[in-house]
Amino acid sequence: MTMSKEEEKRVTDRINELYNKKENEGLTPAEEKERKELHQKFLANFRAAFKQDVEDMVILDKNGKEITSERAKRAQRRKGLRKD
């Protein structure tokens, strides 16, 4: 499940704050731990959103014939996006 836009903005803003502090004055061990946790949370959200986009994609060849992978079709069926 992906983060809400507000949560995503909060996380990225805090990551950027910590990055700037690290570059200018350094981080405490607690801040370094927080930075790593937020980075992992951000990456997990990015991967989930990317996977969602790929699974929802329908691919057509130049003649208009669908060539979507079977794996993507199964995911789309599970989500109720396909009737075939």
**pLDDT tens-digit series, residues 52-63:** 998 899 999 999
Per the domain annotation, does 83 fall within a domain? no
Residue 84 lies in a domain: no
pLDDT tens track for 8-64: 999 999 999 999 999 999 999 999 999 999 999 999 999 999 999 988 999 999 999
1 has a pLDDT exceeding 90: no
Residue 63 included in any domain:
yes
Give the domain range for residue 26: 5-78
Compute φ and ψ for 66, nearest 5 degrees: -70, 130
Residues whose CB is less than 8 angstroms from the CB of residue 1 and which lie 6 or more positions away in sequence, other chains included? 48
Query: Which residue is it, tokens 């499940």?
Result: 1
pTM attached to this predicted model: 0.76
Residue 14 lies in a domain: yes
CATH code where residue 37 lies = 1.20.58
Number of domains present in the structure of the chain: 1
Q: Does residue 24 belong to any structural domain of this protein?
A: yes
